[in-house]
Structure formats: structure tokens, C-alpha cells
Structure 1
């Protein structure tokens, strides 16, 4: 019994040391404890712990009984001394094993929580990096859009200047067309006047020729 308890305590101490230091075996130990806590594992552990606790209480009761016997008899029996030491050692070992088992359970729980929190922190860091990368890409996109807007504004100003010059040219051309139209109208009026004068002169010339022909015919007769 005592050898078994020593073996259990040494095993528990080794597990605590493996939990305490970061080694390749720690992951294996954590996985083993995880599997032990699944299925029927917790029931078996509670059963063993309950049995050890009952034996511990039995040893304590035996020590109390032996101590009462010493008080009643007033003398110390060597056999009772051996039994007292045996029960005391067993109770100490069983109490220590239960305490170390509780420590292992708490260490496993806290390390599991720590691992989950680390994973959560890593996920948050990845998300923050992704957000920062998105911000950088968005800022670059905004800069590109601003440059494109500046280029378009420059082109728009150039087109506006070209449009103004074309508008001025069109206005000048329209003024020239109006002037040419007025000039052509004046020329048409002048042409009509000259044509009318030409007709008048022809009429006068014909009348003069008629008179001359009449006067010549009178002389011949």
C-alpha cells in the first residue's frame, strides 16, 4: 500500500513538472489528460478519489482510536506505535496524492484556458493585421482615385479651354457670315439697280435709234 502510494505521488510530481516546463512531452500529457476527462474517465477518477478518501478517513479514525487507547491505558504499546506510524504515513501519502491530483486537474484546466486564450489572441491579431492591410490597400486606392481625379480635372480644364476657343471661332465665323450676308444683299441691291439702269438706258437708246431712223426716212423721201 505504501509503495503504491509512493509510486502514485512520484507519478503525480512528474506530471506536475511536465506541466510546469515547456517540453515536447507537455503536449502529449495535455492530450492524455484531455482524453482521460472524456467519456467514463471522470467517473473512474472520482471513484478512485472517493475510495482513497474513504481509506484516508479510515486511517485517521484508526489513529484516533489508538490515541484514545493510549490515553485510557496510560501506557504506549509498541504494536500501537508501529500501527500509528503506519496509519500516519498512509494518511499523509493519501492526502498528498489527493492534493497533487487536485493540482494536476487545476493546472490542466488553466493551461487549457491559456491555450484557448492564446488562440483567441492570435485570431484577433490576424484580424487586426487583415484590417490594417485593408486600410493600407484602401489608402492606396484612395490615393490612386485622387490622382485619377486630378488628371481628369486637368483634362477637363483643357477641354474647357479648347471649347472656349472653338466657341470664339464659331462666334467670329458667324459674325463673318452675317457680314458677308449683308454684303451680298448690298451687292444684290446694287445689281438690281444697275440692271434697272441698263434697261432704262437700252430703252432710251432704242427710242433714239427710232428717232434717227424716222428722220433718215424723211430725208430720203
Structure 2
């Protein structure tokens, strides 16, 4: 699960970087994001909910391992390795959820910003027309 989560984190960071800078790839990513969010139902929220359930399961496993080590008094090497692996998975899952939220908000703001950029030239032309009439 760790290699998959690492690739997912890297892919999400690449998408965020593409959305931040005005490049030809940004238009492509915006179109893909629009299509994903369009009428296919809650695809992204289902994936996020599934990842959240796995995160809660991993956190529960971490708590069970910690309780077991507190009861025994000594740290078992196997439990120590399992605990480290679960903590890594939990942190990667939480980071994936956070980056997914960042991508969603960035998509929304970039879309609104691009729409408002298209309106500005019309407003400027309207203002120059109004000032020339008042003279």
C-alpha cells in the first residue's frame, strides 16, 4: 500500500504544480477536472470516503499496537515494525486527502479566476466608452 500512496502523493503534487502556473497543461488538467466533476455522480467523494475509512482503520490498528505494548511493558520488535509501517501509511493517507482537497479548491479558484479574466476586457471597453460619451 505504501508504494501506491507514494505515487498518489507525487501525482497530486504534480497536478497542484500544473494548476498553479499558467501553462498549456493547465487547460488540459482543467478540462479533465471539469469532466471528472461533471455528471458522473460523486466519484471523487467516494474515493475520498474510501481512503478516509482506510485511514481510520489504520489509526485503530496503531492504537491497538500501542495498547498491546503498554500492557506487556516491553516493545516487541515485530510490533515496532508494524507500528512504523502503519504510521507511514496513515500519514501518507492523510496527506493524500489533504492534497485532494487542495486540488479541488485550486480547480475552483482557477476556474473562477479564468472566468473573471474574460470579463475584464469587456468592463474596460465599457468604461472607455462611458468616459468618451461624458466628454
Q: What is the CA RMSD across the aligned residues, in angstroms? A: 1.5
SS at match of 1:3: helix
Structure 2 equivalent of residue 13 of structure 1: 13
Instruction: Pick the structure with more helix per residue.
Output: 1
Structure 2 equivalent of residue 211 of structure 1: none
Matches of 2:29 and 2:77, distance apart in 1: 45
> Is the aligned partner of 1:97 residue 2:101?
no
Structure 1 equivalent of residue 127 of structure 2: 128
Shift of 1:3: 0.8
Shift of 1:129: 3.1
Structure 2 equivalent of residue 82 of structure 1: 81
Please give the per-residue CA displacement for 1:64-85, whole angstroms capped at 9, x wherever unaligned: 0100001000011111111101
State the aligned residue count: 135
Matches of 2:112 and 2:22, distance apart in 1: 16
Where relative contact order (Cα < 8 A, 6+ residues apart) is larger, the structure is 2
> Is the aligned partner of 1:57 residue 2:59?
no
Shift of 1:14: 0.2
Matches of 2:23 and 2:46, distance apart in 1: 31
Structure 1 equivalent of residue 33 of structure 2: 33
Please give the per-residue CA displacement for 1:11-56, whole angstroms capped at 9, x wherever unaligned: 0000011011111111111111111110115x11111100100000
Shift of 1:114: 1.1
Structure 2 equivalent of residue 72 of structure 1: 71
SS at match of 2:65: helix
CA contact (8 A) 2:9 2:92 kept: yes
Structure 2 equivalent of residue 106 of structure 1: 105
SS at match of 2:11: helix
CA contact (8 A) 2:58 2:86 kept: yes
* Structure number, greater radius of gyration: 1
Structure 2: 5+ residue stretches without partners:
none
Relative to the length of structure 2, the TM-score reads 0.93
Please give the per-residue CA displacement for 1:100-142, whole angstroms capped at 9, x wherever unaligned: 0000111111111111222222221122233345x28xx6xxx
Matches of 2:22 and 2:118, distance apart in 1: 17
